[in-house]
């Protein structure tokens, strides 16, 4: 096993919907990361308690066939603050996925593997010029994770005047972490002089919901509905935009932002940053 791979214990699990859940694991003392980065988590399905506790021999046989004795790794953005004592992750269940179809059976006390080498450049440090006044965080589904990490870092609240968090899901029940989001301003804004103002915009695309927008992010941007709801303009010379979510959303929203005059961030220059670990 690589020296970068360490075993971690599952400490808690929260089920949001049958296909969405969060979990926390122990954090190795030496592990460090920057808000917005992701890591590779590993699971050995045959070692999960779910399979060990099956009493029916036939079920055990089927489980052994479905859960081979091998380590499977996938990339996961970190939800928790870089300063938290535990690590939190947000996951979707892919029914036929070799990883998440096993990970959904997690129980407290289960062992996972953590590659302690963090990856990714969806961090505020990539913007090398002086910080503009507005930060637009645009997420779908579990793409919310890196933005929650950023919003639990005091520096984010110090560096901007407005933070717009637009979070899109298919249904109301899939809007996870809403209570936490609504508490962030009080919890972190109160610790900073002249903190940024957080503007949270929920988006539900497949059912009506009071107070939520209903169209996809690219359309909302191009028609100006998102900016209108935020109450601020998307100024190309004073805004950063960060995208994380399903690949189609990221690609379409990136193109919409370009149409509005923003440019991809490269070598510290430009407004748009995206995460690509799918």
Q: Quick one: pLDDT at residue 276?
A: 67
Residue 156 shares a structural domain with residue 84? no
Which comes out higher in pLDDT, residue 38 or 45?
A: 38
98 and 188 inside one domain: no
| Threshold 0.85, pTM exceeds | yes
Determine the average pLDDT of the residues in 7-31.
95
Distance from C-alpha of 55 to C-alpha of 105, rounded to nearest angstrom:
16
Summarize pLDDT for 101-121 with one digit per residue, the tens. Answer: 778 888 999 999 999 999 998
* 136 and 82 in a common domain: no
Among 45-49, 56-60, 229-233, the minimum mean pLDDT is found in 56-60
| Same domain? 78 vs 15 | yes
Please determine, for residue 55, whether its predicted confidence score (pLDDT) is greater than 50: no
Higher pLDDT, 196 or 2: 196
- Residue 244: predicted pLDDT: 96
Q: Which of 61, 93, 119 finishes a domain?
A: 119
Three-state SS string across 229-256, please? HHCCCCCCCCEEEEEECCHHHHHHHHHH
Does 161 share its domain with 179? Answer: yes
**pLDDT tens-digit profile of 227-255?**
999 999 999 888 999 999 999 999 999 99
- Are both 217 and 152 inside the same structural domain? yes
- At residue 95, the pLDDT reads 77
In this predicted model, what pLDDT tens digit does every residue of 184-233 receive, in sequence order? 999 998 898 999 999 999 999 988 888 889 999 999 999 999 999 999 99
Q: Which domain holds residue 225?
A: 124-274
What CA–CA distance (Å, rounded) separates 10 from 240?
35
């Amino acid at each position: 096993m690589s020296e970068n791979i360490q075993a971690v214990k599952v400490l808690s699990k929260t089920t949001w919907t049958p296909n969405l859940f969060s979990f926390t694991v122990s954090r190795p003392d030496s592990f460090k990361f920057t808000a917005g980065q992701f890591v590779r988590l590993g699971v050995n399905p045959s070692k999960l308690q779910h399979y060990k506790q099956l009493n029916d021999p036939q079920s055990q046989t089927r489980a052994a066939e479905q859960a081979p004795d091998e380590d499977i790794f996938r990339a996961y953005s970190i939800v928790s603050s870089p300063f938290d004592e535990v690590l939190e992750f947000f996951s979707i269940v892919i029914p036929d996925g070799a990883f998440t179809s096993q990970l959904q059976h997690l129980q407290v006390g289960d062992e996972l593997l953590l590659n302690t080498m963090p990856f990714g450049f969806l961090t505020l440090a990539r913007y090398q010029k002086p910080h503009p006044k507005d930060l637009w965080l645009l997420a779908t589904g579990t793409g919310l994770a890196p933005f929650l990490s950023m919003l639990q870092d005091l520096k984010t609240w110090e560096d901007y005047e407005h933070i717009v968090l637009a979070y899109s899901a298919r249904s109301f029940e899939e809007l996870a972490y809403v209570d936490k989001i609504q508490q962030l301003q009080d919890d972190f804004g109160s610790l900073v002089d002249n903190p940024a103002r957080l503007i949270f915009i929920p988006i539900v695309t497949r059912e009506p919901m009071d107070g939520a927008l209903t169209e996809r992010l690219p359309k909302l941007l191009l028609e100006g509905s998102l900016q209108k709801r935020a109450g601020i303009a998307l100024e190309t010379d004073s805004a950063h935009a960060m995208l994380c979510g399903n690949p189609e959303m990221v690609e379409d929203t990136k193109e919409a932002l370009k149409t509005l005059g923003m440019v991809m961030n490269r070598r510290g220059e430009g407004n748009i940053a995206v995460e690509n670990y799918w």
